[in-house]
């Protein structure tokens, strides 16, 4: 089970400062690219805007979406399109998820979580497994979220766990209860399966 640190009532700026510090450490540790995976949805983008205000060599940063809706990148539902609009002007590379893409070891896996315990597009009905052989999968959520009724492409649990550290940003008391149950091993939701398989540090911002 993961060793989880929970940081309460963290502002977007404080989370961005923490992320910047982790990226700086990774950049100082070597000369190659620093690779992260980031979530979609509405929560991450104000944090990313704050992150990009830091003095980092973003040309060394490679950004992978946790998942995406299978829509054109100029569609308002595209995580990749939104990430490109923010990161690419700063010099970072944003990867487009495809089934054949070779998934790297991540310096940081930044995740969100739904109230149903899903992470990336690994919804409970998809029965994600720690020993999944595939690193990226296409799937259809059931039920389809009404705000984004699209098929998905997603990193799998082994891909997300192949990271030096994991960070969650979880907002709302309903999600906090789901996360706490996962941490304590009282559920078998996707987030609980990830935490059960995690051996690296996990930090959760609420």
- What token pair was written down for 175? 């999600």
Residues 6+ apart with CB under 8 A from 115: 172, 174, 175, 178
pLDDT at 17 over 70: yes
pLDDT at 41 over 90: no
Model pLDDT for residues 81-115, shown as the tens digit of each residue: 999 999 999 999 999 999 988 999 999 999 999 99
- What token pair was written down for 52? 């990009």
Measure the CA–CA gap between 185 and 183, rounded to whole angstroms. Answer: 5
Check whether domain 4-205 has CATH 3.40.50.1360, yes or no: yes
**Mean pLDDT of all residues in 147-157:** 94
What are the CA-CA distances from residue 139 to residues 21, 66, 99, 175 (Å)? 34, 14, 11, 23
Residue listed under structure tokens 């002007």: 89
User: What number of other Cβ atoms are within 10 A of residue 91's Cβ?
Assistant: 12
What are the CA-CA distances from residue 41 to residues 44, 79, 127, 148 (Å)? 7, 8, 22, 10
Q: What is the pTM of this model?
A: 0.95
Model pLDDT for residues 118-136, shown as the tens digit of each residue: 999 999 999 999 999 999 9
- What token pair was written down for 90? 């700063």
Give CA angle at 204 (198, 206), nearest 5°.
155
Measure the CA–CA gap between 15 and 67, rounded to whole angstroms. Answer: 21
């Amino acid at each position: 089970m993961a060793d989880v640190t929970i940081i309460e009532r963290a502002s977007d700026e404080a989370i961005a400062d923490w992320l910047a510090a982790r990226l700086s450490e990774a950049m100082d540790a070597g000369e190659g690219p620093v690779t992260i995976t980031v979530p979609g949805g509405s929560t991450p983008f104000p944090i990313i805007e704050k992150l990009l205000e830091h003095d980092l060599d973003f040309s060394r940063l490679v950004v992978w979406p946790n998942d995406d809706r299978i829509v054109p990148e100029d569609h308002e539902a595209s995580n990749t399109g939104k990430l490109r609009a923010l990161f690419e002007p700063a010099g970072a590379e944003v990867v487009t998820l495809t089934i054949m893409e070779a998934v790297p070891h991540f310096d940081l896996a930044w995740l969100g979580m739904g109230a149903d315990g899903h992470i990336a597009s690994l919804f409970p009905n998809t029965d994600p497994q720690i020993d999944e052989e595939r690193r990226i999968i296409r799937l259809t959520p059931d039920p389809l979220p009404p705000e984004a009724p699209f098929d998905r492409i997603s990193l799998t649990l082994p891909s997300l766990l192949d990271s030096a550290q994991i960070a969650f940003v979880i907002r709302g008391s309903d999600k906090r209860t789901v996360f706490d149950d996962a941490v304590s091993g009282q559920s078998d939701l996707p987030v609980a399966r990830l935490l059960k398989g995690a051996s690296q540090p996990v930090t959760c911002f609420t």
